[in-house]
Copies of this chain bind each other. A is one copy, B any other.
Amino acid sequence: MTNTVNNMIGIDIGGTSIKFSLMDKNGAIEKKWSIPTNISEKGMFIPKEICESIQTQVLNNEAYMIDGIGIGVPGPISTDGRVVLQAVNLDWYDLPLKDLIENELGIGVALLNDANAAALGEMWQGAARGKENLLFVTLGTGVGGGIVLNGQILNGCHSAGGEIGHIPVRSTENRLCGCGARNCLETFSSANGLTLSMRKKLEEVGESWASLSAPRIFSEAEKGNPLAQEVLAEFIDILGQALAGILNTIDVEQVIVGGGLSAAGDQLLKPLKASMDRYVFPQIKHHFSLKKAQLENEAGSYGAVYAYLSMNDLN
């Protein structure tokens, strides 16, 4: 614990709830709360409800002075950091969220994409502490990514930096991705991709399972089910190849895996590391580390605060 004033707010906007964390500049959390995400009327009430919640929970309390707010958003942010270009779950298009909150509260705001926020959060307070070059991969319903180079997020020229879920996989299959393309990495390497592969494999051999989910596939594979093992091996091979290709491109020292599938822990990470070591360039082989994310739901809030602090030279 430190004696500094608690003066930053980290916000993680999700499709079902908006999570707030009041923390100091060292990341020590004083208070956490959340509100439901109001997606009615194209999410137009969300900015106001965020401000009201901060007012009620923090600003009305004289003990707190807030220096800045960091917000992680499930969608791409304009290259100038002011506008949410698109957040499909919230029905937002070109929403100037930074200005809306700053004008309402008179407090500076840093906006960033949630996967990018999580990458910075893991670097600041989580599994990548002390590293300045890393790839954060989230394996959930889809596949997301955040790239940090020299301590800075690679947001890209079209706000698509780290969109690794959409790396095309060379395949004879024809899996339609939400982005409109075929055979994107996330159509194979997400929880949805994994269950689709399992379903196809079961159909192929004329079997079926009463319930089909990613955890069930990991569990059956662990129990020795050869079909589940085969599907998982292919899953890991595809993901390992893609991540190796990314390392050969950006050559970071640390890969952090978060999202629902990371709950499988070593059952996923050990063979994934072996797969990546098989496919990376000799100079990289055995010289990078692959770790499970540590912060889970807090990563975005931490990273958004960190982004505010570094943009304003406060860290």
Contacts and interface: CB of A to CB of B under 8 A. Distances in A.
A47 interface: no
Interface string A212-246: 00000000000000000000000000100110111
A74 to B, nearest CB: 15
Contacts of A283: 76, 85, 158-160, 163
A161 interface: yes
Contacts of A250: 147, 154, 156, 161, 249-250
A244 B241 CA distance: 15
A156 B282 contact: no
A65 interface: no
Given A241-B168, A283-B158, A147 B249 contact: yes
A170 B168 CA distance: 10
Residues of A in contact with B, size category: 35 or more
B251 A154 contact: yes
Nearest to A275: B168
A158 B287 contact: yes
B133 A180 contact: no
A63 interface: no
Interface string A116-137: 0000000000000000010000
A58 interface: no
Contact of A249 (B76, B246, B279): B246
Contact of A248 (B133, B159, B164, B244): B164
Contacts of A241: 168, 170
22 contacts: A133-B157, A147-B250, A149-B149, A155-B251, A156-B251, A157-B253, A158-B253, A158-B284, A158-B288, A160-B247, A160-B281, A163-B248, A163-B251, A168-B241, A168-B244, A170-B171, A170-B241, A242-B245, A246-B249, A249-B249, A249-B250, A250-B250
Interface of A: 76, 85, 133, 145, 147, 149, 154-164, 166-171, 179-181, 238, 241-242, 244-253, 278-284, 287-288
